[in-house]
A and B are shown apart, each in its own frame.
Chain A
């Protein structure tokens, strides 16, 4: 079965500290992985996708098929990074639907 696991419900760091939000997936096909973010009082929005291999707001994520992981990283956290982060898996090409993890709340303290 397709599944996305985010083991941490809450991650608290101080400003300037490195951040790693963990995501593991279970899928027998060729995965497409995404990170979505929800800032306070805003709607859920795409942060980045693995096929783009891009850095958005200083965040990067590398797909590791051997470990079935797609961890989100940022070397120096900022207070404005505080938000809810969801890892998501597309179960078929062209994103017929996304399966989301339970989310990790990132709190960045000044």
Chain B
């Protein structure tokens, strides 16, 4: 296992186009997070899943954003009708919750960088 994997690593698109990012978490991890990071800022929480259930969505996640984790394994983050303000690094992280206990360690992917022209 090579850790959390994200694809594509880079995406350049024109304003108004749709983009989709994929995240493959560490295989035994049941919790998956999406974060967004812009220049000079720390990662900002977008949403997270426990298995296939999406448990929380940030107000940052507008109606143009949708995330899925259909089988509780990989996840996709789709952005429709992209805007220049969507340009950012999109980070995926995973962790494991066992018996309701979590160590607090998130394992991050290398991120998918989106540039909207």
Contacts and interface: CB of A to CB of B under 8 A. Distances in A.
Contacts of A103: 41-42
Contacts of A46: 104-106
A49 B45 contact: no
Interface in B21-48: 33, 35, 40-45, 48
- Range class of the A interface residue count: 20 to 34
Contact of A43 (B40, B97, B100, B110): B110
Contacts of B100: 94
Given A43-B109, A44-B91, A95 B42 contact: no
Contacts of A6: 42
Contacts of B101: 94
A37 to B, nearest CB: 11
A100 B43 contact: yes
B104 A86 contact: no
Given A36-B106, A43-B110, A97-B56, 6 more contacts: A6-B42, A32-B104, A43-B111, A86-B43, A95-B106, A102-B42
Interface of B: 3-4, 33, 35, 40-45, 48, 55-56, 91, 93, 95, 97, 100-111
